[in-house]
Structure 1
Amino acid sequence: MNEININRQGRREARDEIAVIVPVYMGAEVLRELSARLVATLQSITSDFSIVLVDDRAPDNAWPIIAELCTGDPRIKGIQLSRNFGQHYALTAGIDYADARWYVVMDCDLQDAPEDIPRLYAKVLEGFDMAIATRRKEGHGVIKRIGSRLFYTTFSMLAGFDMDWTIGNFRIFSSQIAAGFRDMREQMRCLPASFSIMGFEATEVEIPHHPRTYGESSYTLKKLVKLGSTMVLAHSQIPLRLVMVSGFVIAAVAMLAGLGIAIAHVYGFVQVPGYTSLIVAIIAIGGVQIFMTGVVGIYVGKCLDEAKRRPLYFVRDLRNLTLSRNRNENADFLQQR
């Protein structure tokens, strides 16, 4: 039986057992198959479920298909963002609007198979707050796997906590975790990192990562580097500590070098004073100082972004949904549409 909640207008509403959040970017051609497989799978678990498709405004214009699916099945919900905000902002919007005991987040490209959801659901019923899907080697090429391993190893070193390269976004988690995530309104978003910070009881379930049958991954090298730098800046002060240590080391080396030069002059080892080494040293130290100042400046800029407290996303349209828990500035307009 569904849990009963009271919404903002005072009406009694039933909470779903499971809500599946799917950010949609360049996935228009797989949406019908994805939705059909999700419905078939979730019906084998419970009749109380919802599927939230979040349109992140890709060039393939998936919204008409999402609207059509919502019209055909009220359990399918649609959120159209005002522009492309990014995967983790789309996931944030879906979690804000959904209301369930258990939440599933997954990609739209069918590399995360809907048929694996029952295994994740069965695992959390053993007493865990979250069950995370870990990938086997299938699904990605050798180069992609090596790149992912290097990316997450470097990130773990800089961020100060471990991130497993075999783990993506595909997971199921409790309403407690969802509520905690809703309270985390940082501008720099990374769902796995945010969940890691919370510290709830989590377990892993190994599943196959299926080959992509439609299109190509939207995560280019540039986007991966941007995501990695965002996660490091959002969750770690290690870069600032490295800057501090580097400054101390350079200062110590400079002092030792100065002492050595002074001793060399006293004993007459330096016959001709050189200016080339002096100029090189000045340029090198100046470059390091500019780099250090830039790192600090990035952190200051991110602090300014957080201080503005702007909404994380804007919603243009909704299907089969009411207002979210975190009310947007354009909510009144949406309520009138």
Structure 2
Amino acid sequence: MDISVVVPLYNEIESLPELTSWISRVMDDNRFTYEVILVDDGSNDGSWEMIRKLNTGNPFIKGIKFRRNYGKSAALNTGFEAAKGNVIITMDADLQDSPDEIPELYRRIVEEKYDLISGWKAKRHDPLSKTIPTKLFNAATRRMSGIHNLHDFNCGLKAYRKTVVKNIEVYGEMHRYIPVIAKWAGFAKIGEQIVEHRPRKYGKTKFGISRFINGLLDLMSIFFVGKFGKRPMHFFGAMGTLSFFAGTICVIWIIWEKLYNLAHHIVPRQPTDNPLFYIALVAVILGSQLFLTGFVAELVARSAHERNKYQVEEVI
């Protein structure tokens, strides 16, 4: 099979007939073998009944229904597990992503050998309350991830080699960072394609400021897990060493100050009257806690079933 189109959705009943008809037309025009996997993330507006109806009219349209709303990451991960195509395309169900982009995305994955192509909505039809946080989010993600060639990490329209989606796990709110997850998994050839951003035709946006805040927290989680997931002591031990070092410097200064005062017959002040005493105390305690956290994290990492699971690209 050439292409699997994975579409996560939540309360998008109005757009589904038009979207699936558009996708099928593009696939037939380009003679692709395909499947469309519609993942209903606990909709309560009749979306699942519509998916059933669409499946009856077109066997290439498949559906997965969650019992409740789990979030976009869960929907994508489940869709990835079910996908059988050599190239997987993801897009949103609100018709703001154009299926006409699929042939070029497919070509670049197959011919240019990209692992992942992320869409870039260079011209957006969104209010400033959404575009400004998005720009800040993308700038922070580029800086922390080192993927400097992507302008829009959160674009729903993406294309993947099958190997990529079968070797990554998307959970929580991590769908925003799939390029980062792919990079940490060893899939380094990541590209970008300018895509059309269409005005929303049905329904309303699911974007909220809480998603922006949660997104930054998830970015920090991905950065830590990706870099230190198999060696947490390297992080906590380094921080603990710095804290101990700072505390030691403070202690040496307090001792030197007291000895200097005694040598010059100056009445020394009590150590507890010196603010550095409390800084040293906090630094030493914090260093101890960081070391203990590192040891516990190492035990957890060594007990994890995937501790020796690595990305193997080829064996001969």
2:69 pairs with one of 73, 77, 84: 84
- Which structure is richer in relative contact order (CA contacts within 8 A, separation 6 or more)? 1
Which string of whole-angstrom CA distances, capped at 9 and with x for unpartnered residues, describes residues 41-69 of structure 1? Answer: 22222253221101121454521221121
Would you say the 8 A contact 1:187–1:305 is kept in 2? no
| Aligned partner of residue 103 in structure 1, secondary structure | strand
Would you say the 8 A contact 1:110–1:212 is kept in 2? yes
Aligned to 1:106: 91
Pairing of 1:174-213 with structure 2 (within 5 A) = 174=161, 178-184=162-168, 190=175, 191-196=178-183, 197-199=185-187, 201-213=189-201
Q: 1:294 to 1:46 in 2, by over 3 A?
A: farther
Q: 1:127 to 1:263 in 2, by over 3 A?
A: closer
Q: Give 1:261's aligned amino acid.
A: I
Aligned to 2:55: 70
Q: 1:160 to 1:133 in 2, by over 3 A?
A: closer
Q: Give 1:25's aligned amino acid.
A: Y
Which string of whole-angstrom CA distances, capped at 9 and with x for unpartnered residues, describes residues 273-294 of structure 1? Answer: 2536367437744784598479
2:120 pairs with one of 117, 130, 134: 134
Q: 1:255 to 1:141 in 2, by over 3 A?
A: same
For structure 1, which segment, 186-195 or 19-28, has the greater mean C-alpha deviation from structure 2 after superposition?
186-195
Unaligned runs of 5+ in 2: 308-316
Which string of whole-angstrom CA distances, capped at 9 and with x for unpartnered residues, describes residues 165-194 of structure 1? Answer: 4233422233xxx24532445867653234
Aligned length: 291
Pairing of 1:117-196 with structure 2 (within 5 A) = 117-129=102-114, 130-155=116-141, 158=144, 164-167=150-153, 168-174=155-161, 178-184=162-168, 190=175, 191-196=178-183
1:217 pairs with one of 206, 209, 213: 206
C-alpha distance in 2 between matches for 1:299 and 1:30: 46
| Aligned partner of residue 96 in structure 1, secondary structure | helix
C-alpha distance in 2 between matches for 1:82 and 1:304: 34
Q: Give 1:55's aligned amino acid.
A: D
C-alpha distance in 2 between matches for 1:298 and 1:148: 36
Aligned to 2:243: 250
Would you say the 8 A contact 1:158–1:236 is kept in 2? no
Would you say the 8 A contact 2:150–2:192 is kept in 1? no
C-alpha distance in 1 between matches for 2:138 and 2:18: 32
Would you say the 8 A contact 2:105–2:117 is kept in 1? yes
Would you say the 8 A contact 1:155–1:232 is kept in 2? no
Q: Give 1:136's aligned amino acid.
A: A
C-alpha distance in 2 between matches for 1:51 and 1:32: 12
C-alpha distance in 1 between matches for 2:151 and 2:13: 27
Kindly report the root-mean-square deviation, in angstroms, between the aligned alpha carbons of the 2 structures. Answer: 3.8
Aligned to 1:263: 256
C-alpha distance in 1 between matches for 2:250 and 2:214: 42
| Aligned partner of residue 215 in structure 1, secondary structure | coil
For structure 1, which segment, 19-28 or 145-154, has the greater mean C-alpha deviation from structure 2 after superposition?
145-154
Q: 1:203 to 1:300 in 2, by over 3 A?
A: same
Which of the pair is proportionally richer in strand?
1
Identity %: 21
Aligned to 1:11: none
1:35 aligns with 2:20: yes
TM-score normalised by length of structure 1: 0.69
